Structure formats: structure tokens, C-alpha cells
Homo-oligomer: A and B are copies of this chain.
Amino acid sequence: MNLKKIFFYTLISLFTTISSSVYAQKDYKLWLQYDKKSNPEIIAGYLSNLQGIVSLENSKTSSIAVNELEIGLNAMLDSKIQINSKSDGENKIIIGSKSSLNSEILKLLKTDFDQINDEGFIIKSISLKNKKHIIITAKKDVSVLYGVYGFLRLVQTNKPIQNLNIVDSPKTNIRILNHWDNLDRTVERGYAGFSLWNWQKLPDYIDQRYIDYARANASIGINGTVLTNVNANALILTPQYLEKVEALANVFRPYGIKVYLTARFSAPIEIGGLKTADPKDAAVAKWWKEKAKEIYKRIPDFGGFLVKANSEGQPGPQNYNRDHVDGANMMADAVAPFGGVIMWRAFVYSEHDASDRAKQAYSEFVPYDGKFKKNVIVQVKNGAIDFQPREPFHPMFGAMPKTPLMMEFQITQEYLGFSTHLAYLPKLFQEVLESDTYQKGKGSTVAKVVDGTLDNHKLTGIAGVANIGNDLNWTGHPFGQANWYGFGRLAWNPYLDSEVIADEWIRSTFSNDYNFIKPVKEMMIESREAVVNYMTPLGLHHIMDTGHHYGPGPWVSNLSRPEWNPVYYHKADKNGIGFDRSKTGTNATAQYASEVEKIFGNIETCPETDLLWFHHVSWDYKLKNGQTLWNGMALKYQEGVNQVKEMQDTWNKTEKYVDSERFKEVQMLLGIQYKEAKWWRDACLLYFQQYSGKELPAGVEKPTQTLEYFKSLKFPFAPGN
């Protein structure tokens, strides 16, 4: 064989392996990809309006803003935009906060400034000396940064930038992530690796991730972060740790992000050497005041404390025969001199209270309405149980008009398939925010409670339990990033449409190609309902396996507290299934405004999506589609499985629009989701079939394993537990 032959000796299948290094970045860069635009006309169009950047300010934050504009625009437009050049040309982007503007510009923007709050921004095409420019301004430099990200989003999503006239303010004050991160870096309900906070190396080592985390949050308007788990460890309040917290606060500050901590109620005993943590004890109150002073000396803009008290074993004022008001107000006094707030969680239910768990938070907290200090905000989960795939809105919303209530959403998917299931949660968030409480008549939506407009509160907020960990892609699932993004956008404006958010996110994260956007957006929008269908259709809830909440466990009935057992929630028996919370049952429906009570309380008017949440329903009950409950439920489980199959089909067609790494990742994860959707369907239907005694209807695939098999599955090292 001669050399020539050697060269063609074999057919080589090249390019099957792709070097890691090229793409791991894509995963890491979140929605700030700044991909170069493929269409030269689009680039030319933008560049004709972007001939330079002029920064009027000199602060860390404004440097970040200029840098971000420069990096983003140059990358997307393949350009080298001049910064603060001496040229006197037009089409510059001028950025700077109000105090840096000259009188000519100020005059032009007078009415705009009247419209925005401290965190709002203005993006406007203006004419100065007959030269066109774009101004991005705000009352504070951090808000200018928000404007810069808002402007970049226009370019990221291929929106026009001629004749801009954007005036936008966030509708809530506290837009905050709750990290359930422990000091050993495990993350309770974390499915994306481990905690970002490397306490061992702090304060002296600043991980690049802290900066990138702050940047990502600033880009969507998040302005606060609770670093530690609500199941708190008092050590975070010792000088050894506060020094580390201070270092993080210093990193986050230029990005407008305030640091908050969880406060363990018994800290005065554990680290303060006191004999009690009684909130009425003068030494205890003094201890907290001094602790607050110590913290604010290090971190002058410290946000305040998030407190889980007398809930699931956490200590609290009730240990001393005091109540939540006593506890919250004592701590509120400690941080008030420094402008701090107390976020007091309403997630309470007691093993000593035999009443319906869904009623307990309302029963306990509503009588406190009007009794909390001004800097206390009560943090309420979106539903009355616990972050289920679907819950009716929490009855506390609208029921405490004299008390600021903040929303607690869960971004991490404790009950929605961990980070292996694609579930676009802004759809869930929107459903809750749009719910009408009727507390002040029709139109009293949860969003209006949360943004303070319904009851005229100034202190407002939305918290999201973070889905962020130290995985290379931050959230474990590439589409988990959309939930972080969408949470931030809805915290900024609870009236945004989740579909619009999905559109923005897809364009910023993957592609502006309509052929990609359309099917992928549809997939995202449908994804949450798919999870509901294959896990907990028709109002079923909390039938996940015990402890870790991974996979189905409707049979679990041996836990020490009755309300920890799935059987408590589904109450399946020969007669039917579901939790009767109507007048004939626990009467939890009475906690809603009468208009809502009427709807939920009546099996005929109750939305079928919430049917088994509020009613115990006969297996033969006729659903609106004419199916019996049993057949309808079985078909819903099957529908969920089919939907995941469709998601797979959709994704498999996107290969040419996506880098191969993320394409494969999502493909693998959808494969797991499909497998697990079938697991949910089969395990739940086999289990419930014991009670219904009925065959599976046509169209529902037969289980390939026995109920005993499903019950035998154990996951001793499931994460997040």
C-alpha cells in the first residue's frame, strides 16, 4: 500500500467528539450569551444607532454598566464601540444617573423622572444640539445599571432601538432570592450541586462565581439575597462568619444586591451565652440590638433577617409562651435604627394541631393583622401546603390588609422533579399572581396584594427559594435557568406575562430564530402542566415519596406526623379520592373571600384543576369531559406522559439551532423526565387502583412493573435532603 492509499485507507468519523472547552461556557453564561448576530443587516441597523458610549459617572457601579454595554454590544454586533471618545458625533448611548446630567438633558426628562421610583430607569431617544442620542438614566447608579441591562435586552431580543421611550420601575421593593444553603455547603432542596458560598475560603478568597452571580441577578433586577437556610444555624451570626458575610456584601453592593441572613431564634442562647431567647426578656432584646449594631457596622446596607420560627422544629417565641408578633417585633426593633427589615415566615403548622394543615397558617396569622411593627413583612408561600406542582393561592393573601405580605415562591424544584425535569415555573407564578382573592371585590389579585397596591403598603416583596448551586450551568438543568430568570422578571413586575418572559429568555439564552423560538416556547409553556398531569392531576398534592420528595410515594403512611404522610393528602378509599376542605369537610374554603369560597366550596363550580384539593370525590363522579373521575385521572396521568414525549420530539428537532453540548444535555434530561413521568403514572395508578377497583381506560399504557416494585425503590442519597 502506498502513501496515497494510506490517506484514504479508512473512512474516519470525525467530529463525533467536541472539545469541552468551547461549550461549557454556554451553560455558564446564562441569559447573557451576547452571541454575535448572524444577520449583517440587523447588525448594521443597530450600529447605525450606536456610534459610541458616553459615561457620565465614576463609580464601581457605573464602571460595571459601561463594561457590560461594551462587552455585550461589541460581542453581539461584532464591533469596537468607542467609549468616551472625543468625537462630537451623534448616536451615542449616554449613561449616568440624574445627578450627573446637565440641565439640558434634565429638562428633556423632567416628566420621565416624575414617573419613576428610586429603582426605575429611563431609556430614551433624545436630540441634543440636533444630534440624536440614546440616554439611559435613573435616580441611582444601580438603577442606571438596570437600564443598561434593559437596553441590552432590546438588542439581545432583536427589538428596535429607534425612538425609544421606556420608563420602567420595579413594582416591589424586595426582590430576593432565599438560599437554603447550610454552612457545610449542602443545600436543602438543592439540585444543582452545592452552595456557591465557599465559607472556608472567605473572606479572603473571592470566587469569580460571586461576581457572576451578582451580575446575573442585577441583569434581571433582583436586589437582595438571603445567604443561609431558613432552618438556620446561629454560627452565621458570629464574628468568624460575619467577616465572611461582609466580604460577600462588598462584592454584591455595586450590583445593587443587599445581603440578608436567616436568624435562628435561639441564637442568644447558642452563641450569646444567655439562658433564654424569650423575646420579652430585656437581655434577649438587648442581645439582638447589639448583634444588629455589630452587623451594620460591618455592612451598613445589610438588608435584615429572614426568620422561620416555631415551624418544623425550629425554635421561636412560642417556646416562651410568646407569639409570632412578640418575636418579630422584638427583632424588628433591633434592625429598625439601621433601616433593616424582618421577613417573618408564615409557613407554620403544628403537630399539636389536629386541624387541616392547609388552614393553620391563616388561623394563626390573620388575628395578628395590624400588630406587627412597620419594618416587618410576613412571607407567605404561594399556596397553603408546600410548593406543590399546583396549589390554589394561599388564603392569607388579601386577608391581612394591615400587614405587608410578601410572596414566597420556590424556584428550586423540590416537588417538581428536582433539576432533571423541565418545568417552566413562571407559568405557575403567573397563575398565582393572577388569582383573584376578591378580598376587596373583583380584581383583588394576589399581584395587587404583593405589590402593595391593594392595601396601600410601601413595604413589598417577592422571595424565590433559589435553584442555584455550583454546577457549571448554575441550575442543574439548562431550562432551570429560565426559572431563575422568570422569577426575577416577575419580582420586578408581577404583571408580566410568562410567555413574554419565555420569549425574552429563549432569545437571550439560545437563539433569535423564530423556527427555534416558537416550538421551544410552546414546550416551555406546556411543561408545567405536564408535570401536574403526570404527578398530581386534578388537585392531588403532596403524594411524593417521603423526606427527599423524589418520585411517587402515595402509599407512605408511617411518618410520625400525620400531615407528613401522603395518605393524609389524597385520602383515597373505596368511595373516592381527595381532601374535603369544603363545608362538609375541614371548611378550609371559609378562609377565602365569600366569592372564592363559593367557587372552591362547590364541587360543581370548583375548577377541576383543584378538584381533589377541595373535595373528596367519588370514583364514578362525572368530569366535565364526560369521563368518570377514575378514567379521567388515569387519562390525565397518561396525558402528562404524552406531553413529555412531545417535549422530546420538539427538542429533537432543534439540534441545528443549538450548540451540541446544551442540545445533548437537554435531550438527556428529557429522557430522564420521560422515564420518570411513566414511573409516576404507573406507581400512582397502580396504587390508587387498589381503591378504585377499576380497570385502566383505553389509551392508558399498562404498567411494566408491579406496585411492590415501585414501593421497594429507595433513594438514600437523594440530594437536597
Q: Which residues of A contact B (CB under 8 A)?
A: 1-21, 23-25, 27-29, 32, 54-58, 60, 62-64, 66-68, 70-71, 83-86, 88, 92, 94, 100, 102-105, 128-129, 131, 133, 183-185, 191, 193-194, 199-201, 204-206, 208-209, 211-212, 215, 235, 418-420, 470-472, 661, 664-665, 668-669, 671-672, 675, 716-719
**Is B193 a contact partner of A470 (Cβ separation < 8 A)?**
yes
Q: How far in angstroms is the closest Cβ of chain B from A104? A: 8
Q: Which of B20, B67, B671 sits near A212, CB closer than 8 Å?
A: B20
For A3, the chain B residues whose CB sits under 8 A away are: 88, 104, 128-129, 131, 133
* Docked pose: A62 CA to B9 CA in angstroms: 14
Which of the listed residues A71, A201, A668 has the most CB atoms from chain B within 10 Å of its own CB?
A: A201
Are B86 and A8 closer than 8 Å at their CB atoms?
Answer: yes
Contact status A11-B194, CB under 8 Å: no
Contact A717 B199 (CB under 8 A): yes
Give, as a whole number of angstroms, the nearest-CB distance from A714 to chain B. 8
Instruction: Specify which chain B residues have a CB less than 8 angstroms from the CB of A215 in the assembled complex.
Output: 20
Number of copies: 2
Q: Which of B9, B56, B86, B661 contacts A9 (CB 8 A)?
A: B56
Residues on B with beta carbons closer than 8 Å to the beta carbon of A205 = 420, 665, 668-669, 672
A100 & B9 in contact (Cβ 8 Å cutoff) = yes
Say yes or no: B204 contacts A67, CB within 8 Å: no
Query: How many Å lie between the Cα of A717 and that of B195 in the bound state?
Result: 13
> Do A23 and B668 contact each other (CB < 8 Å), given the known contacts A54-B7, A102-B5, A185-B194?
no
Give 21 CB contacts A-B under 8 Å.
A5-B102, A6-B94, A6-B105, A7-B84, A7-B88, A7-B92, A8-B86, A12-B63, A13-B63, A14-B55, A14-B84, A17-B64, A18-B67, A19-B71, A24-B208, A183-B717, A185-B719, A200-B718, A201-B672, A206-B668, A208-B665
Contact between chains at B420 and A201 (CB < 8 Å): yes
Contact between B21 and A28, CB atoms less than 8 A apart = yes
Across the interface, A8 reaches (CB within 8 A) one of B84, B94, B131, B669, namely B84
Cα distance, A18 to B191, chains bound together (Å): 29
B contact residues around A13 at 8 Å (CB): 58, 63
- Could you say which residues of chain B place their CB within 8 Å of the CB of A418? 200
Residues of B within 8 A of A28 (CB): 21, 24
Give which listed residue, B58, B193, B672, contacts A12 with CB less than 8 A: B58
Taken together as a complex, chains A and B put the C-alpha atoms of A719 and B212 apart, in Å, by 23
Residues of B with C-beta under 8 A to A200: 191, 418, 420, 717-719
The residue that A20 contacts in the complex, of B60, B208, B419, with Cβ under 8 A, is B208
With A54-B7, A208-B23: A17-B103 Cβ-Cβ less than 8 Å = no
A201 to B54, CA, bound (A): 48
Complex alpha-carbon distance, A131 and B390, angstroms: 72
The CA of A128 and the CA of B7, in the complex, are separated in Å by: 12
From B14, B24, B70, B184, A717 is in contact (CB under 8 Å) with: B184
Could you tell me if A14 and B209 are in contact, using CB atoms closer than 8 angstroms?
no
Q: How far is the CA of A28 from the CA of B473 in the complex (A)?
A: 13
Write out the residue numbers on chain B whose beta carbons fall within 8 Å of the beta carbon of A199.
717
A211 to B497, CA, bound (A): 39
Interface pairs A-B: 6 shortest CB-CB: A1-B102, A20-B212, A183-B717, A19-B71, A10-B58, A205-B668
Contact for A6 among B23, B24, B56, CB less than 8 A: B56
Q: How far is the CA of A204 from the CA of B717 in the complex (A)?
A: 17
